[in-house]
Structure 1
């Protein structure tokens, strides 16, 4: 495919439509950007050569016009001296140069038309490239968001979290049972000061263990 065919395809492409049909939009947009950047370099290189051609043709045209004008003056001078033969020769030389200049001038117009087209195409291509880069950024953000959501869901369904919650429930049940035992033991009986301190220490140990488990569970969930 030539540079002009690729350029036309890119300029008239619908990026959203292409991405919707792609199995891997992230890869697709990356390849599209690479293709656009490569085409942009090629078009600019072609434009640079055209600019160089224009400058060379312009210099050549100026030389031809100057030479033709010089022969015109010679023809007029010869005619003023009644040398029609020399005047005729000068006009023949002038007309030859004018013909070359006219042909070169037509070629110069073609080059200028091409440069105008390159300038227009480069503008459209750059616009498409900017659009594609914006789309790539959007796709990257959406991809990262989706990956985070998947990770969160995996964490929520992780067996380790369920096990921790189960142990947490068991420990709470133990506390309930201890408190029930303590209440049942004290029914109809006045507790001694030593018994109250023993009960307080046991209850405090259970509460400490429970708080440690809560902290570990919160730390795991925070990392995920």
Structure 2
């Protein structure tokens, strides 16, 4: 691809569409800027070469015109000396040089058009490059802002988590305190589990003995009645 073809593609490209399709917009912007900068370097080098060739063509044109004028002077001289044959020869040389003059003039016209077209495209490319650089700067600032916000957000969330754990631990300590107070209130009031069980057994035995005595009496009364 030629320099001018690639430069034209860049100039005519829709940077917004390229960024929308890019997975990494920042990387895409860097690539676009690098491509534009490389193209500008090549175009300036080409421009310098075209300008140098134009200067050479200008010198050739000046020399050719001087040679054509010189041959015309020689033809006049030959005519003044009654040497028409020499005059014809001089005019033939002048005609050949005039043809070269026409070619060089056409070459200069094409070079001027080339340089004008090149200048216009370079100006457009420079505008695109400035736009890309501005977008790169804006994107960089947005990236820094987002990264800072993410960092702050993470810190806030971590602080909230730490606060939640702190409140949970404080609640656990409070429950430990309440349980300790409850246990302290029961100190001295508790009966030994073994002793309580023994007393319960005695109570149950006494009730059974009473029931047994009651049944005996009831049965004895029934026997006496039958007699």
Fold match, TM over 0.5? yes
Distance 1:94 1:9 in 2: 47
Q: Summarize the alignment of residues 203-222 of structure 1 with structure 2, pairs less than 5 Å apart.
A: none
1:118 is displaced (CA, Å) by 1.1
Does residue 1:127 correspond to 2:127, yes or no? yes
Structure-2 residue corresponding to 1:84? 84
Structure-2 residue corresponding to 1:72? 72
* Larger Rg computed on CA atoms: 2
**TM (normalized to structure 1)?**
0.72
**TM (normalized to structure 2)?**
0.71
Q: Summarize the alignment of residues 44-193 of structure 1 with structure 2, pairs less than 5 Å apart.
A: 44-158=44-158, 161-164=160-163, 166-167=165-166, 170=170
1:96 is displaced (CA, Å) by 0.9
Distance 1:52 1:144 in 2: 47
Residues paired across the two proteins, number: 174
Structure-2 residue corresponding to 1:24? 24
Distance 1:79 1:94 in 2: 15
Extract structure 1 runs of 4+ deviating beyond 4 A: none
Q: Summarize the alignment of residues 31-50 of structure 1 with structure 2, pairs less than 5 Å apart.
A: 31-50=31-50
Distance 1:163 1:21 in 2: 41
Find the residue that maps to 1:133 and give its secondary structure.
helix
1:77 is displaced (CA, Å) by 1.5
After superposition, what is the alpha-carbon deviation per residue over 1:58-103, rounded to whole angstroms, capped at 9, x for unaligned? 0011000000001101111111121101111110111111111111
After superposition, what is the alpha-carbon deviation per residue over 1:166-211, rounded to whole angstroms, capped at 9, x for unaligned? 537839x97xx9xxxxxxxxxxxxxxxxxxxxxxxxxxxxxxxxxx
1:165 is displaced (CA, Å) by 5.6
1:162 is displaced (CA, Å) by 2.5
RMSD: 2.1
1:161 is displaced (CA, Å) by 4.6
